[in-house]
Amino acid sequence: MRDWITKRSRIYWHDQYALNEQETAFTQYDPDRISDELCATGADIVAVYATNQWGVAYYPSRFWPQHPGLAGQDYVGDLTSRLRVRGKRVLLYTNWLDSKHAEWNVIPLGHEEDPYYREQPLASWADPAHPDGRAQKLPGGQWRFPCMNSPARGRIVDIAREIVDRYRPDAFHLDMLLWPWPHICACPYCRPALEAICGTKAVTREAVTARWKEYIDWACERSASLLAEVSAILREKGVVAAHNGQNPVWMPVGYGIDQGWLPSLDVYISEIFSSLVTPGMTMRWHHGLGMPSWMLLTSTLPQYAHWPVSKAQWLLTAAACKANGCHVLGPCGVGARPDTTSAKRLLDHVRFGLDAFMQDADLSEGAVSAAKIALVFSWATRKYHGQGAMRWADEIEGWARLLAEEHLPFDIVTAENIASASSLARYDLLILPDSAYLSDSFCRAVRDYAQSGGKVLATAASSLFDERGDPRIDFALADVLGISHQGALEGDFAYPGAEEAEPASGAFRKVTSSARILRHRIECDPAGSVAGQCDPLPLEAGEWPLWAAHGSAFYIAFDIGRYYKLYGDEHIARFIAEAVALCAPSCPLTVKAPRHIEATLWRQEALRRRVVHLADRTLSAGDMSRINEVTPVCNIEISLPAKNPTVKIRGAEGETLFDGERLTVTVRKMAGYAAVVVEDGQSPYPTE
């Protein structure tokens, strides 16, 4: 009954903002016109706003006030009925943000007397006598976060039940269920818990930081338990729980999104905004969670809320999504104007992007990744590393970026999902990117994996703490890596390069090692840089190993991926590539192409074929809003083992050469995306 959530599909996120005090709101409301526009985009699923960012309903609610611009008309019912007649699935949207109960607002620690968080002037139509009638006249763009411990908790459950009972949508979405990090709420509903956690009535930021484990465990539990209450209502009615999980790979845990959310989600929705800096990483992460991957592209320009991004950006987004196994793609952002009209150009560009995404949809049917490298994501590391800081995220992103630039297919695996070495058996190399907080059971799986011949590459503090946030006496993987922890250093240093000492910086772990030392740390002039910049002046090799090899395991003593993510230096790229090549010298797929071409490898075992996706993430992928054209890339060469292959190139032209063992395909000219489909007379890979 729910196969549709993993079928390649298009969603149109119909963002209908309307301020509490706005004369133009809903003045052009015509449900037939709106339905025609939505269906013309080609969308298979449509997200319809049931309530907005100010806690105002777009239907006649028993609890929340309806927007006066609708004059009693049932916007939700009108659109839902029309879309269903036309064969569309409907997702109904509500928002945690509110403008009605100032007494329920989050009050940041240290801002208890700030009037900003108190009640603002009411809208002209507000009804102060109604329990939920005090709608405030908030200026455009201002949001207020209700506290998750306030009565807003029960009210959002009431709203979810009302919407589901009345309209029976295919899916339901709760947005913006976030603690307003980096603030810490100290409202009357949170204060008793904070005092208990800190052991004092004098709650300060420093006191919370000192008890970070206890605080973040509590904050995440309050968030997860509220989401669970909402999803329990959906499951009673068979409605898909499609809440906004945002993107925890890049969002600090202080927002409250954590592993505890997963049981309340049927799909994982992430917003990729306007950047594809690390191509496909979010979608690979979704697959690592074992969940359907739904992606939303912010489809309006940063400086305009209702004006579209370019078709070129849509094309590159569609390419990245196809290459990385995205199930559902669509636009988000603002989109519809308050009067309910949309810019024709925005609708046209969305249609163009969704059409590009749906091309070659058959290549995703039953497809599984054939990558031989696994990059580890750890919920516990995200939760406890650096007391909510995002340093660990820089490390994993740097590794993902480098692997993609080297055209090495990789998967992201979740440490908490790995029960034994058998879960890792399909990989030749396992990378632990500063995976500091790991359980004993995961470490046992890694140990067994290494003993059976699998290669392990770990960096920095990997396995130095347990999954509960507590430090270990030594690395749990000390025996696997051949190292023992002796302390830490922070700052600049150097290491031996091919011709001369090369600079680096980061959190360095001092270790003694029984392993083979491949490089030592080089100490630098203690006087510091003559230019006042991060510019270490190398002196001579010191005592501490920087890179060591122990059997099938390898260790790099600092967060090298983070350094690459922050600076992108060519010499660090060579170091990481050399380390990967030493660990995994053979790869089933080799690619000769510019570094901005991403290559992924998938198997469709039922069809006895493999698919190599080629996606252009462009040289300016970190600044997508400026991309207005896609420059063709010529003469991309891929090679992989094959047996009696039949080859088809989609989206480009090229030639093939088969020497009886290995297939070489040259893609002569590619603009944005191409796929090489190899049908084998006899598959070179065993069925798993």
pLDDT of residue 627: 80
Averaged pLDDT for residues 623-650: 89
Cβ(66)–Cβ(22) below 8 Å: no
Q: What is the three-class DSSP state of 552?
A: coil
Half-sphere exposure of 507 (CA within 13 A, CB side): 17
Which residues are within 8 A (CB) of 559 and not within 5 positions of it... i.e. 6 or more apart?
A: 391, 394, 395, 433, 434, 459, 460, 506, 507
Indicate if the pLDDT at residue 586 is higher than 80: no
Dist. CA 462–CA 434, nearest whole Å: 5
Cβ(68)–Cβ(377) below 8 Å: no
Helical (H) or strand (E) element with 491 = strand 483-496
Cβ(611)–Cβ(367) below 8 Å: yes
CATH of segment(s) 590-680 = 2.60.40.1180
Q: What is the three-class DSSP state of 510?
A: strand
Q: Model confidence over 391-422: pLDDT tens digits?
A: 999 999 999 999 999 999 999 999 999 999 99
Question: 248 exposed, middle or buried (CB, 10 Å; 0-12, 13-18, 19+)?
Answer: buried
Cβ(667)–Cβ(649) below 8 Å: yes
Cβ(363)–Cβ(324) below 8 Å: no
pLDDT of residue 685: 47
Q: Which two tokens stand for residue 146?
A: 């209700």
Overall residue count recorded for the chain in this entry: 688
User: Count of H helices and E strands in the chain?
Assistant: 15, 26
Dist. CA 132–CA 224, nearest whole Å: 25
pLDDT of residue 621: 45
Indicate if the pLDDT at residue 625 is higher than 80: no
Residue 546 has phi, psi (to 5 degrees) of: -105, -30
Q: What is the three-class DSSP state of 122?
A: strand
Half-sphere exposure of 591 (CA within 13 A, CB side): 24
Question: 313 exposed, middle or buried (CB, 10 Å; 0-12, 13-18, 19+)?
Answer: buried
pLDDT band at 681 (very low <50, low <70, confident <90, very high): confident
Domain spans of the chain, in order of start: 3-359, 371-583, 590-680
Residue in 69, 56, 59 with CA at minimum distance from that of residue 132 = 56
Q: What is the three-class DSSP state of 659?
A: coil
> How far apart, in Å, are the Cα atoms of 88 and each of 20, 169, 597?
30, 11, 35
Bridge partner list, 316: none
Indicate if the pLDDT at residue 267 is higher than 80: yes
Cβ(422)–Cβ(444) below 8 Å: no
Which residues are within 8 A (CB) of 185 and not within 5 positions of it... i.e. 6 or more apart?
A: 106, 107, 108, 109, 147, 149, 179
Q: Model confidence over 152-174: pLDDT tens digits?
A: 999 999 999 999 999 999 999 99
Dist. CA 292–CA 596, nearest whole Å: 26
In the block, tokens 């959906």 appear at: 234
Indicate if the pLDDT at residue 236 is higher than 70: yes
Indicate if the pLDDT at residue 602 is higher than 90: yes
pLDDT of residue 687: 38
Dist. CA 18–CA 75, nearest whole Å: 13
pLDDT of residue 387: 83
Dist. CA 573–CA 282, nearest whole Å: 22
Bridge partner list, 12: 46
Looking at domain 3-359, its CATH superfamily turns out to be Glycosidases (3.20.20.80)
Dist. CA 489–CA 508, nearest whole Å: 5
Q: Which of 399-403, 503-507, 532-536, 613-617 has the lowest mean pLDDT?
A: 532-536
Q: What is the three-class DSSP state of 593?
A: coil
Query: Where in 293-422 does DSSP place strands (E)?
Result: 293-298, 328-332, 368-369, 373-377, 410-414
Neighbours of 422 (CB within 10 A): 12
Q: What is the three-class DSSP state of 154?
A: helix
Cβ(144)–Cβ(99) below 8 Å: yes
* Percent of the chain with pLDDT strictly greater than 90: 87
Dist. CA 604–CA 453, nearest whole Å: 27
Q: Which two tokens stand for residue 477?
A: 């993987």
Indicate if the pLDDT at residue 258 is higher than 70: yes
Residue in 123, 144, 142 with CA at minimum distance from that of residue 134 = 123
pLDDT of residue 272: 72
Q: What residue type is 571 in one-letter code?
A: H
Q: Which of 28-32, 530-534, 564-568 has the lowest mean pLDDT?
A: 530-534
Rg (CA), the chain: 27
Dist. CA 649–CA 453, nearest whole Å: 36
The bridge status of strand 410-414 relative to strand 609-616 is unpaired
Does domain 371-583 bear CATH number 3.40.50.880? yes
Helical (H) or strand (E) element with 645 = strand 645-650
Q: Which of 250-259, 442-451, 577-586 has the lowest mean pLDDT?
A: 577-586
Q: What is the three-class DSSP state of 329?
A: strand
pLDDT band at 618 (very low <50, low <70, confident <90, very high): confident
Q: Which two tokens stand for residue 321?
A: 């999504």
Order of strands across the sheet that contains 455-459: 410-414, 373-377, 429-432, 455-459, 553-556, 538-550, 516-524, 483-496, 501-513
Cβ(474)–Cβ(466) below 8 Å: no
Dist. CA 243–CA 265, nearest whole Å: 7
Helical (H) or strand (E) element with 45 = strand 45-49
Cβ(135)–Cβ(99) below 8 Å: yes
Cα 46–chain centre separation: 22
Cβ(423)–Cβ(414) below 8 Å: no
Bridge partner list, 495: 502
pLDDT of residue 279: 55
State the virtual CA torsion across 15, 20, 24, 27 in degrees, nearest 10. 70
The bridge status of strand 653-658 relative to strand 633-641 is unpaired
Half-sphere exposure of 556 (CA within 13 A, CB side): 31
Q: Which of 403-417, 535-549, 665-679 has the lowest mean pLDDT?
A: 535-549
Q: Model confidence over 303-357: pLDDT tens digits?
A: 888 999 999 989 999 999 999 999 999 999 888 999 999 999 999 999 999 999 9
Q: What residue type is 16 in one-letter code?
A: Q
Q: Model confidence over 99-150: pLDDT tens digits?
A: 999 999 999 999 999 999 999 999 999 999 999 999 999 988 799 999 999 9
Indicate if the pLDDT at residue 27 is higher than 90: yes
- One fold for 3-359 and 590-680: no
